[in-house]
Amino acid sequence: MAHPEDQQPLLNGLHSNTSISDLKSDAIEEFLEHKPVSVRWWIRLVGWESRLLWILSGASIIVSVFNYMLTFATLSFTGHLGSLELAGASVASVGIQGLAYGIMLGMASAVQTVCGQAYGAKKYGALGIICQRAIVLHLGAAVLLTFLYWFSGPILIAIGQSESIAEQGQVFAHGLILQLYAFAISCPMQRFLQAQNIVNPLAYMAVGVFLLHILLSWLVVYVLDYGLLGAALTLSLSWWILVILNALYILLSPSCKDTWTGFSMKAFTGIWPYFKLTIASAVMLCLEIWYSQGLVLISGLLSNPTISLDSISICMNYLNWDINFMLGLSAAASVRVSNELGAGHPKVAKFSVWVVNGTSLLISIIFSALVLILRVELSELFTSDTEVIEAVSKLTPLLAISVLLNGIQPILSGVAIGSGWQAIVAYVNLATYYVIGLPIGCVLGFKTSLGVDGIWWGMIIGVLLQTVTLIILTARTNWDTEVQKAIDRLKKSANEETLELLTSI
């Protein structure tokens, strides 16, 4: 008797030696509609999805990590100037630049949602309009954030920093004002390209600009001795070089000829409905990014602040590397899900979610094991102080747990972005992080003998609850309904090409 899957029209020419990688999403969607599907086909389908995922995520990870390393390298060079300059730059990086980074990155996730779904639906002309609309909103946010940068000194003093550190932090923040505007333009352009699966050129640009940034920073700090302001302005210059390269690619590359049709006044129409999703996106990611940064600042209020701050900062540095790695994978997940929803492929979208989560979980298990095995060596890279090394070693089991959770949570957030659930996840983040996790961390840190361990346990509890909530949300999702929502977003407009986004938020 013939197997049911062998009776499918799509599989008439398909046998065990057929290359499934040659099939398109349309064929895979129809394939998945016919059940049961044998184990041998599931294995090959996982290979098909994994290939698409890593084509996107490999380059996306490089982009995320090397963009992060621009600031990381700048802070490394400021260490040559003195401990006070390094402290000021570090505090400004966390308290000021980190705040703006969260807002900009969060707003840009709306571009991932709408551009990804538009590309999947083959509404190519709309992508350029969406990108321009996003840049307009990002530049508006940059103007408001400029005041934060300009008055960063008094702000840093208000959150408990000394006047000397706040003064150096303000010098560094002033030099980053130009970087703020570059970031406002670069974020939408990068998401615009990623939505079209154009990721390799972005990776080449990120690596090239990073290498140039190292050279320029060495010249400015070591040779010309322009100090902290010079280091910050060099970082701003490197980001503007990245913006110029991104813009030239969009304007000149044949890959964007269908999606970029020139500047248009349509970018200024339909801003309000798109703005609502942008705000939800910004709140969603800001609540995630500020959560860990806030815990670092809180640790400085413990009874032994130097050891506590040093140990949690070292661990958070490694967690940030892991986060940026997973952000690249998350961006790929967002693109895959949004593309398939826009194309009307609910089963492929659901299958993509399972594959990317399985992949990230496996990677995180490996990373967690490395953290536990190399707990002493990891701390010795930053310090020779035996007391700090011992404190870091005590925290590494908690770091390993956080790394493991980080293999699931950002990916589910990427799925949420691809599906347009930002408003729902924003409420989830607010409840799990700030209503539950942060108070628990403060109680355990200040009212028990756990100290910095208690603060970290609070973070873990918050992330765990958020992750469980996102798992339930994802598991209960009706992907056919999500496809219909994506179609509605594309149709509910006076002019489909403008893709005036109407969401249910």
- The string of DSSP letters for 26-93 reads HHHHHHHHSS---HHHHHHHHHHHHHHHHHHHHHHHHHHHHHHHHHHHHHHHHTTT-HHHHHHHHHHI
Q: Is the pLDDT of residue 8 over 60?
A: no
At residue 489, the pLDDT reads 54
Q: What mean pLDDT comes out for the span 171-183?
A: 91
How large a percentage of the chain has pLDDT more than 90?
A: 12
Q: Reduced to 3 DSSP states, what percent helix, strand and coil does the chain have, rounded to the nearest 5?
A: 85, 0, 15
What band does 13 get if pLDDT is binned at 50, 70 and 90?
Answer: very low
Which pLDDT tens digit goes with each residue over 277-305? 667 666 766 676 667 666 666 665 566 55
- Kindly report which listed range (200-209, 341-350, 479-488) carries the lowest average pLDDT score: 479-488
Point out the least confidently predicted range of 2-6, 159-163, 195-199.
Answer: 2-6
The 3-state DSSP class for residue 420 equals coil
pLDDT band with cut points at 50, 70 and 90 for residue 497: very low
Q: What is the pLDDT at residue 147?
A: 92
Residue whose token pair is 């006070």: 84
Please compute the mean of the pLDDT values over residues 304-327 and round it to a whole number. Answer: 70
The pLDDT value given to residue 502? 34
Q: What angle do CA 106, 58, 277 make, to 5 degrees?
A: 20
Quick one: pLDDT at residue 401? 84
Q: How confident is the model over 334-353, as a mean pLDDT?
A: 77
At 277 the pLDDT is 64
How sure is the predictor about 210, in pLDDT bands with cuts at 50, 70 and 90?
very high
Is residue 134 within 8 Å of 188, Cβ to Cβ?
yes
* Token pair 């209503």: residue: 435
Average pLDDT (27-48) is 73
Q: Best-predicted range by mean pLDDT among 136-140, 241-245, 297-301, 362-366?
A: 241-245
Greater confidence (501 vs 43) lies with 43
Residue 96's pLDDT is: 80
At 499, the pLDDT band (50, 70, 90 cuts) reads very low
Mean pLDDT calculated for residue range 424-428: 77
Average pLDDT over residues 387-413: 78
Q: Is the pLDDT of residue 102 over 90?
A: no
3-state secondary structure of 336: helix
48 or 171: which carries more pLDDT confidence?
171
